[in-house]
Amino acid sequence: MGFEVHLKPIFGHPKVEWASGNASTPPRRFLFHVHASPDSPHLIIHVTDFHCDTWEAVRSVSQLDDMRDSIGIGGSWSDFIDYLIASIKSEDVKLVLEGHSNSDGAAYAKLVAQKSKGMPVISISLTKLVGTAGSEAIANLSLQLFEEFKSIHEFYVEEKQRSIELSKVISAEKERNASIQSQLEQYSKRQKLQRISSSDKVDVSGPFSNGLKSSPDKEAARDINSKA
């Protein structure tokens, strides 16, 4: 079992609330970063407000498997990891703070996620990081966030370039179609003019010449010439 293949770095902005509901100061905004450890099969979660509250959770595969059993999610291991990722990516991720709200921040915290209402709830207790450990976690989150931004920006630039190239192809195709349409219209007009011209010649020369052959004046002139 593992999740390195399934799990790409996830960043999010959780809804922050106090378990008691009566904090003396409003909570700061937090960011969380969920990723797989590159050195061992562990799920790592960091949550920070970049001030006084930085939290961490590290879960091994066996711990996640125990979580799956306690939550009651059936199916395969892959199904559970997919559900876990979908829950963390949902719009209803909460950071629940507990304990004193002072200059040192909260005393306890947990990350709560749910794919959608009525479905199993993922709840992960967090450990507070202080001193160097907290600073390193913030630095790592910041660097990973920058790398994610850089990757998205590069993808955007590539997609924009492809869009420009596609627009050029579409524009050239439209011009070609317009040229073909113009040629077809000109050809149709020439054909129509030719048919009209041919019809006029038949109407003027055909019946008129036949009428001259059978006219009485022409017959009389022919008789006089023959007698002379």
Q: What is this structure's pTM?
A: 0.68
**Distance from C-alpha of 105 to C-alpha of 58, rounded to nearest angstrom:** 21
Residue 9 tokens, joined:
């770095």
Q: What is the pLDDT of residue 212?
A: 46
Higher pLDDT, 143 or 38: 143
| pLDDT band per the 50, 70, 90 thresholds, residue 202 | low
Across the chain, what does the average pLDDT equal?
82
Sequence-ordered list of residues with C-beta below 8 angstroms from that of 82, at least 6 positions apart, any chain: 6
What is the layout of strands, in order, in the sheet containing 54-60? Answer: 10-12, 31-36, 42-48, 54-60, 121-128, 108-114, 94-98, 15-18
Among residues 30, 34, 33, the alpha carbon closest in space to that of 50 is found at: 30
pLDDT tens figures, 59-74: 998 999 899 888 888 7
Q: Residue 118: what are its φ and ψ, rounded to 5°?
A: 90, -10
pLDDT tens figures, 83-95: 999 999 998 899 9
Which fold is adopted by the domain 10-129?
Dna Repair Protein Xrcc4; Chain: A, domain 1 (2.170.210)
Percent of the chain exceeding pLDDT 70 equals 80
16 C-beta neighbours (distance < 10 Å), count: 20
pLDDT tens figures, 174-201: 988 988 988 888 888 888 888 887 776 6
